[in-house]
């Protein structure tokens, strides 16, 4: 089993660490920099967990129970 970073947002669409977060998403360990992880863990609107998950090889990062892949980069105008 691969280790995953699970992020749960109380406010879907909330932005932190340069990306938009759905209600729930999972990412492979190493997807975020240490600085980004610090920002995410310090944010009260987000819960960040490191969990065991199925082998995520070939899976799209950010895909998870939340349904949609989060957006990275600047918000659209």
Q: Rounded to two decimals, what is the model's pTM?
A: 0.70
CA separation (Å) from 46 to 1, 5, 24? 24, 12, 10
List the domains of the chain with CATH numbers.
2-53 (3.40.5)
Closest CA to 56 of 33, 32, 29, 20: 29
10: its two tokens: 């109380």
What does 27-60 look like in DSSP terms, one character per residue?
EETTSS-HHHHHHHHH-TTEEEEEEEES--TTPP
Task: Tell whether the model's pLDDT for residue 60 goes beyond 80.
Answer: no
pLDDT single digits (tens) 21-40: 999 999 999 999 999 999 99
């Amino acid at each position: 089993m691969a280790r995953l970073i699970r992020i749960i947002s109380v406010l879907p669409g909330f932005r932190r660490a340069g990306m938009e977060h759905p209600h729930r998403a999972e990412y492979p360990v190493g997807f975020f920099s240490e600085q980004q992880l610090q920002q995410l863990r310090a944010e009260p609107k987000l819960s960040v967990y490191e969990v065991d998950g199925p082998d995520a090889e070939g899976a799209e990062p950010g895909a998870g129970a939340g349904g949609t892949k989060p957006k990275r980069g600047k918000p659209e105008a």
